[in-house]
Amino acid sequence: MIAHLRGQVLEKSPGRVVLDCAGVGYEAAVSIPTFAALPETGATVALFIHTHVREDQLALYGFSSMNEKRLFEKLLSISGVGPRLALTILSGLEPDRLIAAIRSSDHAMLTRIPGVGKKTAERVTLELKDKLEQLAAGAPIVSAATGGATGGDVLSALENLGYPRPAAEKAVAKVLEQDPNAGDLEFEALFRAAMAAVR
């Protein structure tokens, strides 16, 4: 199993990254916080990896911190939550807010995430409520984001989470209209603001 990769960023887009590790390109799906923490193309980065094996597929999921990887794996332990939904959940709420929502059984907060219905929210809180003490007490789950944000990346990230493009475009435009300096925000900050506006 691949558990960790260090290499040069060959390609990156919201939801995926390709790393060149000693001449081999590894593609990994990533959450929005991990995407925001990635350096520019050509720079070296290290990611914690979860290798997901199915009969017909071998997929890699990359995380900027061990805590984020552990939270992903906790989500995978829940019946009905696969890797794609687990990444969406990690992308839909900041990790500390996600842990707080799970521990306090805040179903309303969880159901705001695209793809998370009432039953899924109930299962997540029921099964993980008492299993997140270490993560809640640990270091921040996501390291500080680096690099500038682009409206195109934010639009792509919102679409990857299931929002229609017109709604995503309207949300980004609204954020930029309300705050003329929003275009200078880092990716994750602009993404969070746009996500709040799209609801």
Domain boundaries, the chain: 4-63, 66-137, 151-198
**What number does CATH give the domain 151-198?**
1.10.8
Superfamily designation of domain 4-63 = Nucleic acid-binding proteins (2.40.50.140)
Return the CATH fold of 66-137: DNA polymerase; domain 1 (1.10.150)
Contact call for residues 33 and 91 (beta carbons, < 8 A): yes
Low-confidence ranges of the chain (pLDDT < 50): 137-149
pLDDT of residue 136: 56
Q: How far is CA 65 from CA 37, 141, 199, in A?
A: 10, 6, 28
pLDDT for position 184:
65
pLDDT, position 40: 93
Per-residue pLDDT at 59: 94
pLDDT at 161: 83
